[in-house]
């Protein structure tokens, strides 16, 4: 066997490096949105095993989880700053192409027979790798295996990265998805829940970074121009000088791309949201809209305290409603419906109710489990009878968002009939507390928390959301560049 590297393998290597760079950078960006890691799904303050937080959690006043977001340097994060929405767009867009490239690469490995140089076929790889390790430990470079471009320890490390570490990152990434976890709660448990998966995903990142550092170091010390000949031109007999120049230019252009796309994202966030949205929307939508929540956590798993996001409305109107125990509060249901409704709390409580114990997935990364009680949204649909043109439900809140406009979110009508989509007026057996959305909030259990509008005022059935607010499908989409349908 020659030690040539076929062109497809070299291309796959560099495509992999390119998207991995985005994944790591954007992953760090996402971590900055809630820089605390846990092994429990309550995200209870003080129980984190690792934190990069810059702000202590206040103990003398109510606080919201968004206060915990921190700025990330653009040297590390994609795109840098306080940019969870764009970071997620980059992370999932890059993941899409990274996985595609990986699948093509593995298929070609198999059909070309090239896998024999990567996957160990004899147990002797372990003692041989140990010998290599001892050689490295004595500060010498071991010789490559016969007919192979690298020594047994390197082979073992490459095989582990391709066939163990990469799949592990995909699996722990998927386990953080509200859609996937809602439909397959047992899958989430495999990794110790969402926080377990998130912590493991982070450790996987560290493992990848460690691999990259050691790999790069070895590429340099075992003969940089020779190795560049292999991975750029396919063989080390080739013009090594040219290979080094091309290789360094390639790496420089990748770094320049990260810098330019980060700068461009922050300069034109809306354009970035739209462009990358086209890449990730089909998957996002499918997970949010097509999956079904089948969550039935035991009462014993209810979190001692569910974190809060969004500050309660501070308008005189809401204060008045709350002072009267919401006796004068109404939920207005209108728009593209046959029968507009105006429902009191008693009307809602008179309808057949439902309770469910589910996990709340905040886009920032934290989560918690609570019991929610209320009316299935399907019952409201039966009562108001949406017109055929209605495609989205727009939930409006009494609370004002950052732009000073009422907080709203648009939800696909297909979600309204999901068995666990409810309007909740109860939490953990009590009337819904004000911080959690009194008197009524939405629960849509296959999506991220920000879709679940609290302090509800009105539900409108619409054909399109583009003429509402900034037109992105919700306050968070408008102001923070989140995605409209969020199953991940
Ligand atoms: N009106 C309104 N609803 C809202 C928010 C908000 O800021 N305003 N925050 C959302 C976010 S980001 C999350 S994670 C959940 C938090 O619900 P909780 O406070 O009950 O945990 O509410 C969602 N509903
Ligand atoms: Mo959230």
Atom 19 of ligand 1: nearest residue by CA position: 308
- pLDDT attached to residue 252: 98
Average pLDDT, the chain: 96
Burial of 274 per CB tally in 10 Å (0-12, 13-18, 19+) = middle
The residue to which tokens 């000949």 are assigned: 229
State both tokens at 413.
Answer: 């009508």
Report how far ligand 2's centroid is from the alpha carbon of 174 (Å).
18
Q: Which atom of ligand 1 is nearest to the CA of 437?
A: 20
Residue 410 is inside which H or E element, if any? strand 406-412
Q: Which atom of ligand 1 is nearest to the CA of 454?
A: 3
- pLDDT attached to residue 401: 86
The residue to which tokens 């996990």 are assigned: 359
Q: Residue 57 pairs with which residues in a beta bridge?
A: none
Q: Which atom of ligand 1 is nearest to the CA of 398?
A: 1
Rounded Cα distance between 440 and 436, Å, is 9
Residue 51 lies in a domain: no
Report how far ligand 2's centroid is from the alpha carbon of 466 (Å).
22
- pLDDT attached to residue 1: 39
Q: Which ligand is nearest to the CA of 441?
A: 1
pLDDT tens-place string over residues 183-203: 999 999 999 999 999 999 999
Report how far ligand 1's centroid is from the alpha carbon of 452 (Å).
6
Which residue, among 292, 287, 289, 286, has the nearest Cα to 415 in the 3D structure?
289
Rounded Cα distance between 303 and 200, Å, is 21
DSSP secondary structure of 311-374: PPP--HHHHHHHHTTTTT--EEEEESBSS-EEE-HHHHHHS--EEEEEEEE-TTS-EEEEEEEE
Question: What's the mean pLDDT in 138-142?
Answer: 91
Residue 83's domain comprises 7-34+69-288
Cα within 13 Å of Cα(220), Cβ side = 7
pTM: 0.96
Burial of 368 per CB tally in 10 Å (0-12, 13-18, 19+) = buried
Kindly state the percentage of the chain with pLDDT values over 70: 99
Interhelix angle for 84-112 vs 240-267, to 10°? 150
pLDDT at 220 over 50: yes
pLDDT tens-place string over residues 165-180: 999 999 999 999 999 9
Atom 23 of ligand 1: nearest residue by CA position: 450
Cα within 13 Å of Cα(451), Cβ side = 30
Atom 12 of ligand 1: nearest residue by CA position: 450
pLDDT tens-place string over residues 371-408: 999 999 999 999 999 999 999 999 999 999 878 899 99
pLDDT tens-place string over residues 256-306: 999 999 999 999 999 999 999 999 999 999 999 999 999 999 999 999 999
* 321 and 277 both lie in a single domain: no
* 284 and 331 both lie in a single domain: no
Domain total of the chain: 2
Rounded Cα distance between 61 and 201, Å, is 32
pLDDT tens-place string over residues 44-68: 999 999 999 999 999 999 999 999 9
Q: What is the CATH classification number for the domain harbouring 193?
A: 1.20.950.20
Helices (H), 175-299: 178-183, 185-190, 193-221, 224-228, 240-267, 269-285
Per the omega criterion (within 30 degrees of 0), is the bond before 79 cis? yes
* 334 and 409 both lie in a single domain: yes
* 11 and 119 both lie in a single domain: yes
Residue 80 lies in a domain: yes
Per the omega criterion (within 30 degrees of 0), is the bond before 80 cis? no
Question: What's the mean pLDDT in 105-112?
Answer: 96
Residue 60 lies in a domain: no
* 117 and 234 both lie in a single domain: yes
pLDDT at 87 over 70: yes
* 450 and 345 both lie in a single domain: yes
DSSP secondary structure of 38-97: -SSTT--TT--SEE--SSPPPSSS---GGGG---B-TTTSSS-BS-HHHHHHHHHHHHHH
* 252 and 331 both lie in a single domain: no
Q: Which ligand is nearest to the CA of 475?
A: 1
- pLDDT attached to residue 2: 52
Q: Is 385 left (phi over 0), alpha (psi -120 to 50) or beta?
A: left
Residue 45 lies in a domain: no
Q: Which band of pLDDT confidence, cut at 50, 70 and 90, is reported for residue 149?
A: confident
DSSP-derived secondary structure letter, 286: I
* 263 and 407 both lie in a single domain: no
Atom 11 of ligand 1: nearest residue by CA position: 450
pLDDT tens-place string over residues 336-378: 999 999 999 999 999 999 999 999 999 999 999 999 999 999 9
φ, ψ at 442 (rounded to 5°): -90, 145
* 249 and 316 both lie in a single domain: no
Atom 24 of ligand 1: nearest residue by CA position: 453
- pLDDT attached to residue 3: 63
Mutate-to-test residue for ligand 1 from 310, 311, 394, highest number of ligand atoms within 8 A of CB = 310
Residue 265 lies in a domain: yes
- pLDDT attached to residue 145: 87
* 239 and 304 both lie in a single domain: no
* Contact criterion met (CB below 8 Å) for 232 and 7: no
* 313 and 244 both lie in a single domain: no
Residue 58 lies in a domain: no
The binding-site residues of ligand 1, defined as CB within 6 angstroms of any ligand atom, are 306-310, 360, 362, 397, 399, 407, 436, 449-450, 452-455
- pLDDT attached to residue 249: 98
pLDDT tens-place string over residues 438-488: 999 999 999 999 999 999 999 999 999 999 999 999 999 999 999 999 999
* 319 and 434 both lie in a single domain: yes
Q: Which ligand is nearest to the CA of 309?
A: 1
């Amino acid at each position: 066997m020659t030690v040539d590297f076929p062109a497809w393998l070299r291309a796959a290597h560099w495509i992999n490096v390119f998207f991995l760079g985005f994944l790591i950078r954007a992953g760090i960006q996402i971590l900055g949105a809630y820089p605390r890691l846990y092994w429990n799904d309550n995200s209870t303050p003080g129980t984190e095993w690792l934190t990069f937080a810059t702000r202590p959690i206040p103990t003398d006043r109510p606080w919201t989880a968004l206060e915990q977001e921190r700025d990330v340097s653009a040297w590390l994060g994609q795109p840098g700053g306080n940019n969870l929405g764009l970071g997620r767009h980059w992370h999932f867009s890059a993941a899409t192409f990274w996985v595609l490239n990986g699948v093509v690469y593995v298929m070609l490995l198999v059909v070309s027979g090239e896998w024999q140089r990567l996957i160990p076929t004899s147990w002797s790889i372990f003692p041989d790798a140990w010998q290599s390790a001892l050689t490295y430990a004595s500060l010498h470079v071991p010789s490559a295996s016969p007919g192979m471009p690298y020594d047994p320890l390197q082979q073992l490390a490459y095989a582990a990265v391709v066939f163990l570490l990469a799949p592990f990152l995909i699996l722990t990434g998927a386990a953080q998805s509200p859609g996937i976890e809602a439909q397959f709660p047992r899958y989430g448990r495999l990794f110790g829940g969402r926080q377990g998966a998130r912590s493991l995903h982070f450790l996987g990142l560290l493992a990848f970074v460690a691999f990259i550092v050691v790999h790069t170091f070895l590429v340099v010390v075992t003969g940089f121009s020779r190795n560049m000949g292999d991975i750029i031109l396919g063989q080390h007999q080739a013009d090594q000088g040219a290979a080094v120049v091309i290789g360094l230019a390639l790496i420089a252009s990748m770094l320049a791309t990260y810098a330019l796309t980060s700068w461009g994202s922050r300069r034109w966030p809306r354009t970035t949201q739209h462009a990358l949205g086209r890449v990730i929307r089909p998957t996002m939508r499918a997970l949010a809209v097509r999956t079904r929540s089948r969550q039935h956590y035991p009462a014993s798993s209810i979190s001692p305290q569910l974190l809060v996001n969004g500050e309660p409305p501070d308008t005189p109107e809401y204060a008045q409603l709350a002072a009267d125990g919401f006796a004068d509060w109404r939920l207005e249901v209108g728009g593209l419906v046959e029968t507009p409704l105006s429902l009191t709390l008693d009307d809602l409580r008179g309808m057949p109710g439902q309770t469910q114990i589910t996990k709340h997935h905040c886009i920032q990364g934290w989560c918690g489990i609570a019991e929610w009680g209320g009316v299935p949204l399907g019952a409201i649909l039966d009562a108001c009878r949406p017109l055929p043109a209605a495609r989205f439900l727009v939930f409006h809140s009494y609370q004002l968002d950052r732009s000073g406009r009422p907080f709203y979110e648009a939800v696909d009508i297909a979600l309204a009939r999901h068995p666990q989509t409810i309007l909740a007026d109860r939490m953990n057996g009590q009337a819904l507390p004000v911080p959690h959305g009194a008197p009524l909030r939405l629960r849509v259990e296959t999506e991220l928390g920000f879709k679940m509008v609290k302090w509800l005022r009105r539900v409108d059935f619409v054909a399109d959301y583009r003429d509402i607010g900034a037109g992105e499908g919700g306050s968070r989409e408008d102001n923070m560049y989140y995605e409209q349908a969020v199953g991940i």
